[in-house]
Chain A
Amino acid sequence: MANKECYHCGDDCNRSSVLFDGKEFCCNGCKTVYEIFTSNGLSKFYDMEEHAGISPAEIVKKYDFLDNQEIVEKLVEFNEDGMQLVQLYVPSIHCSSCIWVLENLNRLHESVVNSQVNFPKKTIRITYRSNGLALKDLVILMNSIGYEPHISLEEYTKKSHRVDRSLLYKLGVAGFAFGNVMLLSFPEYFEVNEFWLDRYKFVFRWLMFTFSLPVVLYAARDYFRSALKGLQSKILNIDVPIALGVLTLFVRSTVDIIFNLGSGFFDSLTGLVFFLLLGKFFQQKTYAFLSFERDYKSYFPIAVTRLIPNGAEESVQIYEVEMGDRLLIRSMEIIPVDSILVKGNAEIDYSFVTGESRAVFKQSGERLFAGGKQLSGVLEIEVVKPVSQSYLTQLWGNSVFSKDKMSTFQTLTDSIGKRFTLGVLGIALMATVFWLFYMPSMALNVFTAVLIIACPCAIALAAPFTLGNMLRIFGKHKFYLKNTNVIERLSKIDTAIFDKTGTITTATKDTILYEGIALSEAETSLLKTTLRASNHPLSRSLYELLKSNAIITLDEFHEHSGLGIEGRTDSHSIKVGSSSYVGESARASTETTAVYVSADEAVKGRFVFKNTYREGVENLFKDMGKTMNLGILSGDNDGERTQLQNILPAKTHLLFNQKPKQKLEYIKHLQKDHKVLMVGDGLNDAGALAQSDVGVSVSEDINVFSPACDAILDASNLSKLPDFMRLSRKSIQVIKLSFLLSLCYNLVGLFFAVTGRLEPVIAAILMPLSSISIVVFTSVYTNLLGTGLKDKS
């Protein structure tokens, strides 16, 4: 059977294809979106990119909390005169068609006045008339075309922060001054002894001074501040020689032009500041659509359904939930608070919170913890502890979350900076002393010349450009780092710890084995048909496994949530579910997830779901095991111990049943002698990720929540982790090489300075030359290294 692709979203149409207007769609949702687009004149959506559409999610009652006016007030940015302005985060924006259709939202509803997409951030700002369209309806409209906005507690409580554009302003000032000063300094370079020059050179010189003033006072301000801070804490970081150089340049040049000793070095001054700021700008690459700071707030919903005593339901903010309240939790919803189960069959997936890979069944009267996801059926729960005091949120109170890893790490540049400053000062003093004896009038000249020419700019530029480029290259391979500091910390790692559930295993594909009496053809097709009618995740996985074409029609179908499903035709019946549902005595097989099958009331056997390890995990461990110590920290039980021992090197530590706090403590313990990398994916890894030297969060869908970390790695590229580590180490080598290169320039320059022959024109040539050559060298080399990554994939 040929693979038909959905015209809208490109998914496989095999399961159930829908035909409309001569085109095939994979489901009714896609067909509906196509209908909406074409009937509103938006069919151009399909011309721009193929299969650009997204299948819309089911709504159920998910957006009821937007009926609450208080919540709406907090979410909209502007609300006056019947107009509202809201900024929504839409993680499914991924191409130009998305931008186009979302900016043409006004064609889908006349109350939408304007909508503007910010693609890097994946947000959209919509202005609409509030008397014609409520926020809830707007959100439902966007959901119906496949662009569901993600509204979580974090968006709700976040205060709007001012955008920091100061670096751009400073760069503008420095660049403007640099260009003009270079032009103004030309007449004096060529030393033409013309009469007019003698008369007008003061004009040029004082103009150069005026342009350099804002550069020193405004654009270079950060360097002075940082140098002062460093000196106060007795550290000589790289900003000290920079600040010293800028100051010396300015003072020497001003003195020179006042006493007519020369034309001053304003061109080198402005050039220096401009290149340094350019380096800072280049290093600043951030991934605006990701957040590396997420805590539990972006995982929880904003509001929950509370049951009022007379039986009615109301939507209430999650912070207003009190002890003793009764809440309604529907299937696929998250339990927001520690509570007791009152009514309903609970089948809860805690994999994100504790790392347990199989769902937990709970009975009425049992305790439920916050953070689990209810898989099937509706629950009524009674609140025991409010959100801020639940077992889950307690974890975030740990001091490890307020620590800043960057400030305690000494970067390579800073360590070189210290030696550089001392070396330059030493040479300056020696040269000055020499000239004091030989020709005292030159002494001051030489002292300042040495300080000027010993340009730390090449050193200060090597790291930003190398690491900035490496950051971009990693990003292209879906390894998103928080900042360039992470690369330096990565290069020092010697121990790597992995979480199990969700990190090295994947829930999208299950390995399913059958144990028991073989099923007949008729029984298999009845089983398959029954599974097809159920929406439970285990049913769906099982259905995918048993795909055959013999679909028959069921006479009866029942789903008993939390227990199992039952299908019946006139001749046969089949039951699929937990062991007790099917009639099998509860065997003590608690280590594995299993689904039992009985046909015609006779138990036939069971399907066992085993962890599927991600592709390439074995090679990953082999590769990394060569240079690092490995370990596994899992919140799950040790059912997978033997399996793991097979794929990991012999001396690997395997620890199971680890609670979040225990994971954190273990990492702390390891850090006494090692530099530790932690790779995890869930809330239960949050503490370990924050404690480790570098925390990497693995994610199957980067738009969905991942805990606070230093880097986010897309699950499909997990096998490239050893290559990323190798490249980090090589980047450090590139930086060291460029230090050597800058040393050559410095030696040449120092020769001129020490012999008292430093003319402004020489400084003006050497400075930009060294900066540009360092930039070119590091960019070319890192790009070469980056191509090595691509070839392997």
Chain B
Amino acid sequence: MSVIYVLLAISISVALVFFVAFVLSVKSGQYDDAYTPSVRMLFEDEVVHDLDKTQVENKRIEENIDQTNTYGNSTV
């Protein structure tokens, strides 16, 4: 039964490792803000290319042309 010394030693050292990990995580400031990470992890990391700068410019030019057409005479 003297193997119990070994068992106790191993289990306590494993527990200590986790305890040290806890202390280190508190020290690094992980628990200062416990809310934002829960929101942050739901973000997806995609870059959306629906409208780039040139397209925005084109839209604006289109809009201007439309406006002048409604006031001026429309050509057939």
- Cβ of A35 and Cβ of B56 under 8 Å apart? yes
- Cβ of A120 and Cβ of B56 under 8 Å apart? no
Interface residues of B in 23-48 (CB under 8 A from A): 23, 26-27, 29, 31-33, 35-36, 39-40, 42-44, 46-48
- Supposing A41-B47, A169-B23, A172-B26 touch, asked if A203 and B40 sit within 8 A by C-beta, the answer is no
CA distance A132 to B59 in the complex (A): 30
- Supposing A118-B33, A176-B19 touch, asked if A38 and B8 sit within 8 A by C-beta, the answer is no
- Supposing A169-B26, A172-B19 touch, asked if A39 and B48 sit within 8 A by C-beta, the answer is no
- Supposing A41-B47, A96-B39 touch, asked if A180 and B32 sit within 8 A by C-beta, the answer is no
For B36, give the chain A residue with the smallest CB separation: A119
CA distance A491 to B31 in the complex (A): 33
Q: Does B76 reach chain A (CB closer than 8 Å)?
A: no
- Cβ of B29 and Cβ of A41 under 8 Å apart? no
Which residues does chain A contribute within 8 Å of B53, judged by CB atoms? 39
Which residues does chain A contribute within 8 Å of B35, judged by CB atoms? 119-120
Q: Does A21 reach chain B (CB closer than 8 Å)?
A: yes
Q: Does A196 reach chain B (CB closer than 8 Å)?
A: yes
- Cβ of B8 and Cβ of A207 under 8 Å apart? yes
For B42, give the chain A residue with the smallest CB separation: A96
- Cβ of A168 and Cβ of B15 under 8 Å apart? no
Number of A-B residue pairs, CB cutoff 8 Å, is: 74
- Supposing A169-B26, A203-B5 touch, asked if A99 and B36 sit within 8 A by C-beta, the answer is yes
Shortest Cβ distance from A31 into chain B, in angstroms?
11
Shortest Cβ distance from B49 into chain A, in angstroms?
6
- Cβ of A172 and Cβ of B22 under 8 Å apart? yes
Shortest Cβ distance from A327 into chain B, in angstroms?
40
Q: Does A100 reach chain B (CB closer than 8 Å)?
A: yes
- Supposing A43-B50, A165-B26, A172-B23 touch, asked if A117 and B8 sit within 8 A by C-beta, the answer is no
- Cβ of A41 and Cβ of B49 under 8 Å apart? yes
Interface residues of A in 99-144 (CB under 8 A from B): 99-100, 103, 107, 117-121
CA distance A156 to B58 in the complex (A): 45
Q: Does A44 reach chain B (CB closer than 8 Å)?
A: yes
Q: Does A200 reach chain B (CB closer than 8 Å)?
A: yes
Range of interface residues on A (Cβ < 8 Å): 20 to 34
Q: Does A59 reach chain B (CB closer than 8 Å)?
A: no
CA distance A120 to B22 in the complex (A): 22
Q: Does B4 reach chain A (CB closer than 8 Å)?
A: yes
For B59, give the chain A residue with the smallest CB separation: A21
- Cβ of B31 and Cβ of A39 under 8 Å apart? no
CA distance A107 to B45 in the complex (A): 12
CA distance A117 to B53 in the complex (A): 27
- Cβ of A118 and Cβ of B48 under 8 Å apart? no
Q: Does B51 reach chain A (CB closer than 8 Å)?
A: yes
CA distance A103 to B31 in the complex (A): 19
Which residues does chain A contribute within 8 Å of B40, judged by CB atoms? 99, 103
Q: Does B1 reach chain A (CB closer than 8 Å)?
A: yes
Q: Per a CB cutoff under 8 Å, which of B12, B33, B46, B51 touches A39?
A: B51
CA distance A200 to B8 in the complex (A): 11
For B56, give the chain A residue with the smallest CB separation: A39
Which residues does chain A contribute within 8 Å of B55, judged by CB atoms? 39
CA distance A200 to B27 in the complex (A): 37
- Cβ of A121 and Cβ of B33 under 8 Å apart? yes
Q: Does A332 reach chain B (CB closer than 8 Å)?
A: no
CA distance A664 to B36 in the complex (A): 41
CA distance A264 to B36 in the complex (A): 44
Q: Per a CB cutoff under 8 Å, which of B26, B27, B36, B51 touches A117?
A: B36
Which residues does chain A contribute within 8 Å of B63, judged by CB atoms? 20
CA distance A120 to B46 in the complex (A): 26
Shortest Cβ distance from B62 into chain A, in angstroms?
10
Q: Does A307 reach chain B (CB closer than 8 Å)?
A: no
CA distance A199 to B2 in the complex (A): 10
Shortest Cβ distance from A280 into chain B, in angstroms?
15
Which residues does chain B contribute within 8 Å of A21, judged by CB atoms? 51, 59
Which residues does chain B contribute within 8 Å of A165, judged by CB atoms? 26-27, 31-32
- Supposing A96-B42, A176-B15, A196-B1 touch, asked if A38 and B50 sit within 8 A by C-beta, the answer is yes
- Supposing A165-B26, A172-B26 touch, asked if A38 and B1 sit within 8 A by C-beta, the answer is no
Which residues does chain A contribute within 8 Å of B23, judged by CB atoms? 169, 172
- Supposing A96-B39, A103-B40 touch, asked if A44 and B48 sit within 8 A by C-beta, the answer is yes
Which residues does chain A contribute within 8 Å of B50, judged by CB atoms? 38, 41, 43
Q: Does A13 reach chain B (CB closer than 8 Å)?
A: no
- Cβ of B51 and Cβ of A43 under 8 Å apart? yes
Q: Does A163 reach chain B (CB closer than 8 Å)?
A: yes
- Supposing A100-B43, A180-B12 touch, asked if A38 and B19 sit within 8 A by C-beta, the answer is no
Q: Per a CB cutoff under 8 Å, which of B29, B47, B52 touches A163?
A: B29
Shortest Cβ distance from A94 into chain B, in angstroms?
12
CA distance A118 to B48 in the complex (A): 25
Shortest Cβ distance from A688 into chain B, in angstroms?
35
Which residues does chain A contribute within 8 Å of B27, judged by CB atoms? 165
For B50, give the chain A residue with the smallest CB separation: A43
Which residues does chain A contribute within 8 Å of B47, judged by CB atoms? 41, 107
Shortest Cβ distance from B70 into chain A, in angstroms?
13
CB 8 Å contact bits of B1-25 with A (1 = contact, 0 = none): 1001100100010010001001100
Which residues does chain B contribute within 8 Å of A168, judged by CB atoms? 26, 31
Q: Per a CB cutoff under 8 Å, which of A44, A180, A203 touches B46?
A: A44
For B54, give the chain A residue with the smallest CB separation: A39
Q: Per a CB cutoff under 8 Å, which of A107, A120, A176 touches B33?
A: A120
Shortest Cβ distance from B71 into chain A, in angstroms?
16
Q: Does A42 reach chain B (CB closer than 8 Å)?
A: yes
Shortest Cβ distance from A161 into chain B, in angstroms?
13
Shortest Cβ distance from B30 into chain A, in angstroms?
10
Which residues does chain A contribute within 8 Å of B48, judged by CB atoms? 41-44
For B19, give the chain A residue with the smallest CB separation: A176
CA distance A120 to B31 in the complex (A): 12
CA distance A200 to B15 in the complex (A): 21
- Supposing A100-B43, A120-B36, A200-B4 touch, asked if A39 and B29 sit within 8 A by C-beta, the answer is no
CB 8 Å contact bits of A173-203 with B (1 = contact, 0 = none): 0001000100000000000000010011001
Which residues does chain A contribute within 8 Å of B4, judged by CB atoms? 200, 203
Shortest Cβ distance from B33 into chain A, in angstroms?
5
CA distance A119 to B32 in the complex (A): 11
Which residues does chain B contribute within 8 Å of A43, judged by CB atoms? 48, 50-51
For A183, give the chain B residue with the smallest CB separation: B11
- Supposing A43-B51, A96-B42, A207-B8 touch, asked if A38 and B56 sit within 8 A by C-beta, the answer is yes
CA distance A35 to B51 in the complex (A): 9
Shortest Cβ distance from B63 into chain A, in angstroms?
8
Which of B23, B39, B46 has the largest number of chain A CB atoms within 10 A? B39
CB 8 Å contact bits of A14-48 with B (1 = contact, 0 = none): 00000011000000000000010011011110000
Shortest Cβ distance from A256 into chain B, in angstroms?
21
CA distance A169 to B31 in the complex (A): 11
CA distance A19 to B35 in the complex (A): 37
CA distance A746 to B76 in the complex (A): 98
- Cβ of B52 and Cβ of A39 under 8 Å apart? yes
Which residues does chain A contribute within 8 Å of B49, judged by CB atoms? 41
Interface residues of A in 727-775 (CB under 8 A from B): none
Shortest Cβ distance from A588 into chain B, in angstroms?
54
A-B contact pairs, 16 of them (CB 8 A): A20-B63, A38-B56, A39-B52, A41-B48, A41-B49, A41-B52, A103-B40, A103-B43, A119-B33, A119-B35, A119-B39, A169-B23, A172-B26, A180-B12, A200-B1, A203-B8
Known: A39-B52, A203-B4. 9 other contacts (CB 8 A): A35-B56, A38-B50, A38-B51, A41-B50, A96-B42, A163-B32, A176-B19, A176-B22, A180-B12
The 6 closest A-B pairs by CB, nearest first: A119-B36, A38-B51, A39-B56, A196-B1, A118-B33, A96-B39
Q: Which residues of B contact A (CB under 8 A)?
A: 1, 4-5, 8, 12, 15, 19, 22-23, 26-27, 29, 31-33, 35-36, 39-40, 42-44, 46-53, 55-56, 59, 63
